[in-house]
Amino acid sequence: MQATPLCMFQGCQNAATYYAKCDVHKHRTKCTTPSCENQTYARNRCVKHGGKPKCLYNGCDANVRSQGLCCRHGPGNVKSICQVDGCVKVAHARHRCVRHGGGLQCKVEGCNAHARSRGVCGRHRLDNHQSAILDKVESLSDLVGLVDIGDCDSDLPFGNIISDIELADKDKEILDRVLAPI
């Protein structure tokens, strides 16, 4: 049994199907620099070999973004840099980067994690999401009487609502697990 050849591009582990290229790279070309296996970015060269020009600022090796300069040295750079000596990262809150205390902390009392979305960390966002679902279920059940949970051991206020909807035992079991307090 023959082994399937791999894509010719550096680091790609996909099987080659189109002229030594995989499905992802089939319409891409290889860098014109001899012995380079990277895909081209511009002017038939990869980024490493000049496909993207470098910043004109003295001593900067970053790629050009606008007017021959990188985002750090280019015009219109309104982002402030972290105030901690030696740090060149963009400042967020309190004129510091996240690593040096510039990120917002989770709003939940006693939690020291960084806030990721809506002022809370990932763990508390998940908790808020689950409680929001339960709040919706409670209000809908009060209005319509959606579910007959049957022999539910739940402490929820809508524990055994009788309705016109008949649920299979498997459906009741799933609802019990979803609505069970965590």
Render pLDDT for 134-146 as a digit per residue (tens, 0 to 9). 555 554 444 344 4
Instruction: Enter the pTM of the model.
Output: 0.32
pLDDT value at position 113? 85
Residue 91: closest CA among 83, 103, 99, 82: 82
CA–CA separation, 42 vs 27, rounded Å?
A: 14
- Summarised one tens digit per residue, pLDDT across range 29-86 is 889 999 888 888 888 888 888 888 888 999 998 888 888 888 888 876 567 889 999 9
Q: CA–CA distance from 138 to each of 113, 170, 176 (Å)?
A: 30, 21, 14
pLDDT value at position 122? 83
| Rounded mean pLDDT, 82-94 | 89
Domain boundaries, the chain: 81-120, 136-179
Tokens 């009741």, residue?
172
| Contact assessment for residue 87 and residue 98, using Cβ atoms and an 8 Å cutoff | no
Flag whether pLDDT at 170 surpasses 90.
Answer: no
Stronger pLDDT, 139 or 113, i.e. the higher one: 113
What is the chain's mean pLDDT, rounded? 76
